[in-house]
Amino acid sequence: MLQLQGIVLTVAVALTSTIAADPAGPCRVVGERAAIAETPEASGVAVSRRTPGRLWVHNDSGDPILVAIDVRGRLQQRVRVAGASVRDWEDVAVAACGNQTCIYIADIGDNHLSRRDVVIYRVHEPAAADTATDPAVAIRAVYPDGPHDAEAFFVTPSGEMFVVTKEKAAALYRIPAAENGEPARMQKIKTLTGFAEKITGAASASDGRRVALRTHTQLAVFTATDLVSPRQASPTIVDLSGLGEQQGEGVAFGEGGTIFLVGEGGGGHRAGTLSRLECTW
């Protein structure tokens, strides 16, 4: 478990880019970019732990629906999240919870900085034939320093939840366990500088060793220890501009060195996109 309480840091991120499609770089593109017709506003992606070969994606508005696709972007399943609503769903994660796996849906977008709190919906991961989840647990949280817009969220294998804000100087916050039924008060861990663009998605590897943060055109892969430590964080940076995403949003770790990326279709109900990278770290 990462020991983070009471730490507030400012860390400059050293960025050294490599090209995603460059064989000399850490990642290569696998296959063609796929269209996801069900999610024109694809904002988050997570790899299923319960059904091999499936990914969970979602729109950032509309009905509280999780969409399961295969690795080629083809629709497999639509699941309604019972007891949840959509204000601005921006990211999704899958992690162990007890002896099962859970899906965490981050309703954390706040373009107008007007929200009193943000909500993380947690549900047990549905089976392949389910059309609805069990009732969602709503985990509410507030920032210690006023509202922030955010699109990036990740959960570590130990169950710790983190939000990265969508700001010029992004900040990393931890969501602690709530007490007395009140919204949890987030803990600011540190500020990240050095990103040329705002951060739109995040993911933790299933073994907890790495965390990925992405922007529209870059992927930054940290060791988890570096991301939460006082020392300067030096991630591996992959240039995503060659993927041709209209609006890159979500990221997820697959098996081995696989990375999945989703993006919005660019408006007008145009299909969202799914891209796949194979990387060596």
Q: Measure the CA–CA gap between 50 and 69, rounded to whole angstroms.
A: 13
Q: Measure the CA–CA gap between 138 and 84, rounded to whole angstroms.
A: 8
Q: Considering only CA atoms, which of 34, 32, 38, 68 is closest in space to residue 269?
A: 38
**pLDDT at residue number 5:** 40
Strand, coil or helix: what is 227? helix
What ranges in 165-266 are assigned the alpha helix state H?
Answer: 224-227
Percent of the chain at pLDDT > 70 equals 91
Q: Considering only CA atoms, which of 13, 72, 12 is closest in space to residue 219?
A: 13
Give the global pTM.
0.91
Number of other CB atoms surrounding residue 49 within 10 Å: 16
**pLDDT at residue number 230:** 65
Count of all residues that appear for the chain in the document: 281
Write out the chain's pLDDT in tens, 281 residues.
444 344 343 334 444 344 444 545 799 999 999 999 999 999 999 999 999 999 999 999 999 999 999 999 999 999 999 999 999 999 999 999 989 999 999 999 999 999 999 999 999 999 999 999 999 999 999 999 999 999 999 999 999 999 999 999 899 999 998 777 789 999 999 999 889 899 999 999 999 999 999 999 999 999 998 897 766 788 999 999 999 999 999 999 999 999 999 999 998 899 999 999 999 98
Domain 9-279 has CATH 2.115.10: yes
